[in-house]
Structure 1
């Protein structure tokens, strides 16, 4: 079991191309923890904005009567991947991990695999 700080450090250290990571409460839109980022990548602003993405997808699934759970949401930009992974275990309901990757350096499949591992070990 790892805490938030350890999980965020693990993500930044073990995922090639990681530019920033946050643990976000999509009920409030608040980042519970952030690591990385830059002047042009404000993880607190991104956390709030991506909360709207998660909420919209959940509403759409409800309207379509889709009885399934979101594993992750991927947003691809010209030079970045934005990966949102909803937490499912050990008190993670209502939370997601948000990871920003440099698309030139990242291996998306490996990043998803590592984020899933980090989620499994995270105790919130």
Structure 2
């Protein structure tokens, strides 16, 4: 089982944060890419996660859960995954990937593995 810091380092991203979706606070962060404010990204992404949850409720998508969400920027991908592992309630993982080097299929596979192994 991986701890928060180990799981985030394992993500091999420009930056990664484990975020509490109730407060918008990052519980753990790794990465020091220039121009990347992970605290600000965590807070902004919290609003996106909440919007997805409200939309699913409004649409009556019972039994359906947000598996992950992707924002595609000019030079980055932002991959967000609400955690489903025990102890992961109200937490999500936010990965910032270099678009030129990232493999999205592998990144999605990797965050699923982190979710399964994470001990919060």
Q: Same fold judged by TM-score > 0.5?
A: yes
Which stretches of structure 1, 4 residues or longer, exceed 4 Å deviation after superposition?
none
State the number of aligned residues: 119
Gaps of 5+ in 1: 13-17
Distance 2:44 2:87 in 1: 23
What is the CA deviation profile of residues 47-103 of structure 1, one whole-angstrom value per residue up to 9, with x for unaligned ones? Answer: 000000000110111111111111100111111110001101111010000000011
Distance 2:108 2:32 in 1: 19
- The yes-or-no answer on 1:8 pairing with 2:8 is yes
Calculate the aligned-residue CA RMSD, in Å: 0.9
Find the partner of 1:65 among 57, 60, 63. Answer: 60
TM-score by length of structure 1 reads: 0.92
Q: In 2, are the aligned partners of 1:73 and 1:84 still within 8 Å (CA)?
A: yes
Find the partner of 2:89 among 89, 93, 107. Answer: 93
TM-score by length of structure 2 reads: 0.95
- The yes-or-no answer on 1:103 pairing with 2:99 is yes
What is the CA deviation profile of residues 19-43 of structure 1, one whole-angstrom value per residue up to 9, with x for unaligned ones? Answer: 1000000000000000004341100
Gaps of 5+ in 2: none
